[in-house]
Structure 1
Amino acid sequence: MPPSPWHILGCGAMGRLYAAQLSRAGIHVVLLPRQAPTAKLLDIEITGLSHSRHTLPWEPPGATGPIHQLLVFTKAYDVAPALAGIGHRLGANSRVILMANGMGYAQQLHPRLPTLRPAFGTSTQGAHRGSGAQVQHAGHGATRLGMPGVPKAPDWFAPLEQALPDCRWESDINSALWRKLAINCAINPLTALHHCLNGELAARPALAQQVRALCAEISTVGAAAGQQAALAGLQEQVFAVIHATAGNRSSMLQDLSSGRRTEVSYINGFLVQQARQHGIAAPLNQALLQAITAKEAAIT
């Protein structure tokens, strides 16, 4: 019996990039686009740092039949409603990996899908949509997957580890999620507000100073939340990411530029919630949350 396909929910740039990488490795991929395409198959053309073309099957939102393996690349605010929409296709043994930015969205899942026990992932790969079927592969990076309470990689992880570049199992996925959250808190909103590439946060002294101040505040909140070890050396990590992705446009900048809602509520907003929970002030993150929210209100 052939292995079950990996379904991909969320067919934006990152979902399509991962679909192409899995397909290139010989893994059967089925896309779950929000709106049904006009063609029977969906074309993907990867350009930029890697090049490949793929023609992949897709299923409409109302399709039936079980989904055994699922990667979710929706925006954080769409995770719960999108999964609820296909909840009839998910069983107790379905493998679901949530790859959204930020934190806090998993708690919104439980009332809708109380038996779901998802895995979580982070990615430092970069991609953005081009014209037509094109996806620009804009940044090499790592993929880290894991499940709370599962320190060793399960058998189903092996094909993903072989297919995806620099893909590893995280024994403590919560720490990895916190590290990614902290880096996003320090980079994404500043690039969105100043409409600049990541590299400008280091090249412009005033912005670099804001990054350093943000890192200090984020580290304080993280320590109160029990994540001091996860955020050790945060400032160095943040500037390393800024230099490594100097030519990239953050997802938050891309969203604002395209008139879309951002994930700031699940990034800086989550950090502000954690600060309040532990009785700590986080004025810098609060100010960024308010500024991005105001920009969203003006364009949406």
Structure 2
Amino acid sequence: MNGITPPHWHLLGAGHIGTWAAGHLLSAGHRVSVVRATDAPIVNARLIDADSGDETRLRLPVASPAALSAPLSHVVVACKTPFTETALARCLLAADATVIRLQNGVGTLDGRLPAGACLIEAVTTAAVKGQRDRHEIVADNETWMGGPAARPGWFAGLSEHWPGLQWTAHIRHRQWRKLVANAVINPLTALHDVPNGALLTETPLAEHAAALAAEADRLLARIDPTWPGDSLAGVQAIARATADNTSSMRADMARGAATEIEAINGWLLRQADTCGLALPAHAAIAEAVRRQSGRIRQR
């Protein structure tokens, strides 16, 4: 660790991705406590490598009310985006807290952190699925962390234990690449209840995907003239690589959970309003997801 003491992280959101991240942090000697409204003192979880079948059992302590009454210095926000405000309300952040945001979408922590906080954005191509305490790592690919702040001292040691972890000062384009993929694949597969690969094999869905990607590129190029565009190729590559998978939004809608549409397509629409740009395809699909999700949740 080069003489640097690994920090103690408080995890908001011990779902699939949050638990997967906790496993990597623990393997690097970092401490992890879960912030959760529960009487249970321990969160037991299993991380299973889908390829090898290797299993790692985690025992994550739940932070006590006394611990949460003091300002937290290191926090990982990995909860589903609709629950961000509720999760943050359970704890007090230090004025200079370091916060890793490991969520879909963009902008979910805007205006919600202390002015002196250091926000580290994280983007991953890892895929984790399962139920309850069983988290199956389908793909442990690349993960990028970064932002305007300098790379923290603990990062080098962490990267030795977190496969594919990299630091970049220019993370925005990587965020946007994932955002566009989510803004195309998630709502289409959720609305039509199809696996990701259907966007390649069903002509109406493929055409809809192309329209959504083109609109997103037009907006992002307006925001940042250096945006390279050509998002459709990336969307298709992800749909091809995950052809049999169920998107997170499709899974959320199927079980009547709140979707992340506001942090994904909703972010694009809010930026478009600021720029005076119309995104009719995104506006229509976001509204369709809201309506269908609302009907399902009322059943």
Tell me the TM-score normalized by structure 1: 0.88
Amino acid at match of 2:89: A
Deviates more, 1:251-260 or 1:176-185: 176-185
Equivalence for 2:91: 86
Q: Is the 8 A contact 1:138 1:248 kept in 2?
A: no
Partners in 1 of 2:146 and 2:103 — Cα distance? Answer: 14
Of the three residues 65, 73, 76, the one matched with 2:78 is 73
Equivalence for 2:278: 281
Q: Is the 8 A contact 2:196 2:243 kept in 1?
A: yes
Alignment of structure 1 residues 148-297 onto 2, 5 Å? 149-150=148-149, 152-226=150-224, 228-297=225-294
Of the three residues 8, 15, 26, the one matched with 1:12 is 15
Please list the CA deviations of residues 159-179 of structure 1 after superposition, one character each: whole Å capped at 9, or x if unmatched: 332222211112112222222
Q: Is the 8 A contact 1:79 1:100 kept in 2?
A: no
In the alignment, structure 1 residue 122 sits paired with structure 2 residue 156: no
Q: 1:26 to 1:106 in 2, by over 3 A?
A: closer
Q: 1:125 to 1:230 in 2, by over 3 A?
A: farther
SS at 1:101's partner residue? coil
Partners in 1 of 2:125 and 2:138 — Cα distance? Answer: 11
Please list the CA deviations of residues 211-235 of structure 1 after superposition, one character each: whole Å capped at 9, or x if unmatched: 1121111111111112x43452211
Equivalence for 1:44: 45
Q: 1:245 to 1:229 in 2, by over 3 A?
A: farther
Q: What RMSD over aligned residues (CA atoms) do the two structures have, in Å? A: 2.2
SS at 1:169's partner residue? strand
Equivalence for 1:142: 142
Partners in 1 of 2:139 and 2:94 — Cα distance? Answer: 35
Identity across aligned pairs (percent)? 30
Amino acid at match of 1:153: R
Deviates more, 1:58-67 or 1:172-181: 58-67
Q: Is the 8 A contact 1:31 1:59 kept in 2?
A: yes
SS at 1:232's partner residue? coil
Q: Is the 8 A contact 1:10 1:34 kept in 2?
A: no
Equivalence for 1:31: 34
SS at 1:264's partner residue? coil
Partners in 2 of 1:83 and 1:231 — Cα distance? Answer: 35
Equivalence for 1:103: 106
Cα displacement (A) at 1:61: 6.2
Q: Is the 8 A contact 2:97 2:116 kept in 1?
A: no
Partners in 1 of 2:210 and 2:119 — Cα distance? Answer: 34
Which runs of 5 or more structure 1 residues have no equivalent in the other structure?
A: none
Partners in 1 of 2:39 and 2:175 — Cα distance? Answer: 32
Which runs of 5 or more structure 2 residues have no equivalent in the other structure?
A: none
Equivalence for 1:298: 295
Tell me the TM-score normalized by structure 2: 0.88
Please list the CA deviations of residues 174-232 of structure 1 after superposition, one character each: whole Å capped at 9, or x if unmatched: 22222221111111100111111111211222211211121111111111112x43452
SS at 1:164's partner residue? coil
